[in-house]
Amino acid sequence: MLESGNIMTVQLPLKPTCRPCSLLGLLALIIASECHYTPEPDQRRTLPPGWVSLGRVDPEEELSLTFALRQQNLERLSELVQAVSDPGSPRYGKYLTIEDVAELVRPSPLTLHTVQKWLWAAGARNCNSVTTQDFLTCWLSVRQAELLLPGAEFHRYVGGPAKIHVVRSLRPYQLPQALAPHVDFVGGLHRFPPTSSLRQRPKPQVAGTVGLHFGVTPSVLRERYNLTARDVGSGTTNNSQACAQFLEQYFHDSDLAEFMRLFGGNFAHQASVARVVGKQGRGRAGIEASLDVQYLMSAGANISTWVYSSPGRHEAQEPFLQWLLLLSNESSLPHVHTVSYGDDEDSLSSAYIQRVNTELMKAATRGLTLLFASGDSGAGCWSVSGRHQFRPSFPASSPYVTTVGGTSFQNPFLVTNEVVDYISGGGFSNVFPRPSYQEEAVVQFLNSSPHLPPSSYFNASGRAYPDVAALSDGYWVVSNSVPIPWVSGTSASTPVFGGVLSLINEHRILSGHPPLGFLNPRLYQQHGAGLFDVTHGCHESCLNEEVEGQGFCSGPGWDPVTGWGTPNFPALLKILLNP
């Protein structure tokens, strides 16, 4: 292993490192064997709407593929998440370092040896690993990749609002059976970039203007969530926060400066991002990327902010997977990360979804607070064998993230109580069972809600989400030098809640306490203390006669539309400050 900066480069052997007969025997077993298996048999391989094929890719074109190597000690990893995140545990707040995590989950020597020999034989080159050694990203030609992964057939596709180009294989790939104990999945083949669901809604109509506001701005949020001008970062700690941007989405420094000039005059703030990790493109600013940065930095005001930019500049890269690799390769990371990204659970293979969940567990043991948007399709809807069901989203449904739903003001022009924003994503996972930390809250909801949908529409025993919420309707954003009103989506509520938690981390650090880390076990033990309970409204779902477009409805306590509610900063700070 050679270390180059923060990247560990694996030098695949240029010549056999064992006796020729042994190596030939290994390669014969791995390559020539007719016994193969399909790592992702349940991966959806239909072309997403709005994408078209431009034909087969040149066989000599270069591809970047990421191999997820089988990890060790995952049960112990799960135990450690609980131990460092539960206030009742003696290990609470005693987070692991990246070196600790690597020592725990690093693939076995046999796995490392077998996979490296296999890739060497295929002609893979420029193979980079990460600190935990459980991902390996290599370059191959299309011809080599299709020989390495029987069944794969690479085409170039174009689609999405930005008409981006990607190289993918809709056909299932296979691996030699000898690799089954060693490789979870291969990234860069199947998954297409999801499109942003952020929307600009029509301005509500109103008569008269006295005492009204005309859209959500930092001052409106600070009024609603009881943040004063003093509730900002001190600038004296190593506290930091981050957001991640994907899918050719970029922010512009000039937009951030203009946003703060227009809307940041009544609180101390930073007018520039402290660090960009990855490549920041030169294209037009994206509304979603602009929104993430501007509201994370105005809610978590005067706190050092990083932006993870994983646009997938190469057509074969998966931006979300690239972000996970960055987390596995940095020893010092921001304490709070907000991510406005999601896919339908059913569109992802079980191998992929379980492995990503493990990556989120790794982050939790390191004391990172990961907040994901709950999505903008309410309960969702799809048809299974001719019957409608709700459609959960991932990573929102992961048990190891804090998921943020959305609300609206009861009166859209007044800083009033909040009600459900009908687009707020929420529901029950079809993949992950209900974690113990939310058992009491979810059972209470299921037993007391007067408006439950038919039981055939959702998996009542699954991980339920969201966990919390914030305003998601009617935001002002500056993008490409233009102030844009009435932008809506849980992509707005997520950085707002993240900024609030960063302010609480500031107080904890100044008091000598560790950062909050994975919040959910503590959040559910508090039964909603420090949050405004949202008790009115339902979100959208299937437009059929049985449910008539209505999913779940909010009520007292936790619910799968707004979680425990929205932040009341002074009360939440009091609850979360100690220990």
Catalytically active residues are 288, 292, 491
CB 527, CB 412: distance < 8 Å: no
Q: Give the residue from 205, 256, 270, 214 showing the smallest Cα distance to 477.
A: 256
Q: Give the residue from 579, 577, 578, 569 showing the smallest Cα distance to 530.
A: 569
Q: Is 421 annotated as a binding residue?
A: no
CB 334, CB 499: distance < 8 Å: no
180 φ, ψ (degrees, to nearest 5) = -55, -40
Q: Is 559 annotated as a binding residue?
A: yes
CA gap 374, 393 in Å, rounded: 7
Q: Which two tokens stand for residue 418?
A: 């909040």
Strands (E), 47-109: 52-56, 62-69
CA gap 114, 301 in Å, rounded: 49
Q: Is 281 annotated as a binding residue?
A: no
CA gap 109, 48 in Å, rounded: 39
Cβ-Cβ contacts under 8 Å for 391 (sequence gap 6 or more): 344, 345, 346, 377, 379, 380, 381, 382, 427
Q: Give the residue from 526, 412, 414, 416 showing the smallest Cα distance to 473.
A: 412
Q: Is 253 annotated as a binding residue?
A: no
Strands 550-553 and 538-540: antiparallel
Strands 566-567 and 531-532: antiparallel
User: What are the binding residues for Ca(2+)?
Assistant: 533-534, 557, 559
